[in-house]
């Protein structure tokens, strides 16, 4: 990803997107709604901590799962993704 554009997380948080931004590979600037939902449910700090604790090869799947959970929780605040599963 070119560093001339900020990732969706850095745009949302109104900060510079560094070369080693933890969010950039998983929240591209082309999909800002994905990060805004994840931020609304989990918070940027918690997402950053969760991604940093995982091995690099599992981070993309974790970001996808957080995005799915956040979207489900926004649509159905009571049951979230459990409502979809059941």
17 in a domain, yes or no? yes
Domain that holds residue 31: 8-85
3 in a domain, yes or no? no
Q: What is the pLDDT of residues 5-27, one digit of tens each?
A: 889 999 999 999 999 999 999 99
What is the reported pLDDT for 4? 59
- Answer yes or no: is pLDDT of 3 > 70: no
Q: State pTM to two decimals.
A: 0.83
- Answer yes or no: is pLDDT of 2 > 50: no
The tally of domains found in the chain comes to 1
Q: Number of C-alpha atoms within 13 angstroms, CB side, residue 83?
A: 12
2 in a domain, yes or no? no
- Answer yes or no: is pLDDT of 1 > 60: no
CB 8 within 8 A of CB 32: yes
Token representation of residue 43: 């918070």
Q: Tell me the H-state helices in the chain.
A: 8-13, 32-42, 44-53, 56-75, 81-85
20 in a domain, yes or no? yes
1 in a domain, yes or no? no
């Amino acid at each position: 990803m070119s560093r001339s554009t900020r990732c969706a997380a850095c745009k949302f948080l109104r900060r510079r997107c560094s070369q080693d931004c933890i969010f950039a590979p998983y929240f591209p600037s082309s999909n800002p709604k994905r990060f805004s939902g994840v931020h609304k449910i989990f918070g940027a700090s918690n997402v950053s901590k969760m991604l940093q604790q995982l091995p690099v090869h599992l981070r993309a799947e974790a970001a996808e799962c957080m995005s799915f959970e956040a979207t489900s929780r926004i649509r159905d605040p009571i049951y979230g993704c459990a409502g979809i599963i059941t």
